[in-house]
């Protein structure tokens, strides 16, 4: 007598496929992605069209063209939070964890799916936005081309940084389990805490702040490194470590805490 093969055995590939399907079928995913791309491109083109060329040369050309990614940070962060904490809000997480009792494959799959979506989207948006903005900046002090030193690296670095921020937000969502609270923690870490710490009169605090996610993303988005900021490679490593540490903590909590 032979033992029948279980037709619905849980495998990493099936968990990954399930999470891919869940994220892509959410209307909020499509809306967030479209709004992120449109806002980034529109703001880059709008600022470039309004620029009169009288700047003092202190602004990096890539950073100027991608100022719209300030909105992208929040949009992708919200998407990351919704991908995890949203299931706790709706109660769907119980069904998910019942289907995948080991739990951790759910977290890794959600992170992988989110990164797979965010990276190509942000990179394509950047490669569209920069030439679009430059079409208005010809002859100004911010004129540059894709072939200039550091430009492609900054465009790709910004995309990688935004992707890591989205996955970081997903980890925060897994830790906090509340959409509003997780968004608040994400924004606080990204925008508020570094500014508060920078007010402290200690040199080592200033050195540490430059490696916070928001500051590291800014360093990644400059074609020419700015004094007082982290080097691009170090900034990318810092963002990776922030994200990895958050996911590791989320994984620990996920295994020990009841759904």
The per-residue pLDDT for range 58-79, each reduced to its tens digit, is 789 999 999 989 899 999 999 9
The tokens describing 200, both together, are 């402290």
pTM: 0.92
Q: What band does 245 get if pLDDT is binned at 50, 70 and 90?
A: very high
Radius of gyration of the chain (CA): 20
The answer to whether residue 7 is domain-embedded is no
What mean pLDDT do residues 177-206 have? 91
Q: Which residue has the higher pLDDT, 195 or 12?
A: 195
Coil, helix or strand at residue 90: helix
Q: Comparing 214 with 55, which gets the higher pLDDT?
A: 214
- Ordered alpha helix ranges (H), the chain: 12-24, 27-50, 61-65, 69-90, 92-99, 104-137, 151-176, 179-187, 193-198, 203-209, 213-220, 232-256
Residue 139 has a pLDDT of 85
Residues 6+ apart with CB under 8 A from 16: 109, 112, 113
Q: Report if residue 38 sits inside a domain.
A: yes
The whole domain housing 22 covers 12-256
Domain for residue 191, yes or no?
yes
For residue 201, give the 3-state DSSP assignment.
coil
Is the predicted pLDDT of residue 96 greater than 90, yes or no? no
Give the rounded percent of residues in the chain with a pLDDT score beyond 90.
64
Question: 5 lies in a domain?
Answer: no
Burial zone of 148 (CB within 10 Å; 0-12 exposed, 13-18 middle, 19+ buried): middle
Beta carbons within 8 Å of 119's beta carbon, 6+ residues apart: 159, 160, 163
The average pLDDT across 166-187 equals: 95
Pair 86, 19: CB distance under 8 Å: no
- In this structure, are residues 122 and 162 in contact, taking their beta carbons and an 8 Å threshold? yes
Task: Give the model's confidence band at 179: pLDDT under 50 very low, under 70 low, under 90 confident, else very high.
Answer: very high
pLDDT at 8: 63
**Domain contains 84:** yes
Let me know if residue 6 belongs to a domain: no
Q: How many folded domains does the chain comprise? A: 1
234 is a domain residue = yes
- Categorise residue 186: left if φ over 0, alpha if ψ from -120 to 50, beta otherwise: alpha
Contact 129, 45 (CB under 8 A): yes
Residue 56 lies in a domain: yes
In percent, how much of the chain has pLDDT > 70? 95
């Amino acid at each position: 007598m032979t033992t029948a093969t279980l037709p619905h055995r849980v495998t990493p590939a099936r968990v990954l496929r399930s999470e891919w399907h869940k994220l892509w079928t959410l209307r909020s995913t499509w809306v967030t992605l479209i709004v992120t791309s449109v806002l980034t491109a529109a703001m880059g083109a709008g600022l470039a069209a309004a620029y009169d060329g009288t700047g003092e040369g202190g602004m990096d050309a890539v950073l100027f063209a991608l100022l719209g990614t300030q909105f992208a940070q929040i949009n992708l962060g919200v998407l990351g939070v919704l991908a995890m904490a949203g299931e706790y809000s709706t109660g769907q997480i119980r069904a998910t964890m019942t289907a995948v009792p080991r739990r951790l494959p759910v977290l890794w799959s959600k992170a992988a799916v989110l990164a797979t979506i965010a990276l190509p989207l942000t990179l394509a948006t950047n490669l569209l936005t920069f030439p679009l903005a430059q079409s208005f900046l010809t002859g100004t002090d911010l004129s540059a081309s894709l072939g200039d030193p550091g430009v492609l690296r900054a465009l790709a670095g910004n995309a990688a940084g935004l992707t890591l921020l989205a996955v970081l937000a997903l980890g925060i969502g897994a830790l906090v389990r509340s959409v509003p609270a997780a968004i608040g923690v994400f924004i606080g870490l990204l925008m508020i805490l570094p500014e508060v710490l920078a007010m402290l009169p200690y040199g080592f605090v200033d050195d540490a702040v430059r490696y916070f996610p928001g500051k590291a993303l800014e360093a990644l988005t400059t074609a020419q490194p700015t004094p007082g900021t982290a080097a691009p490679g170090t900034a990318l490593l810092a963002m990776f470590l922030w994200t990895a540490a958050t996911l590791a903590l989320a994984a620990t909590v996920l295994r020990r805490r009841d759904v």
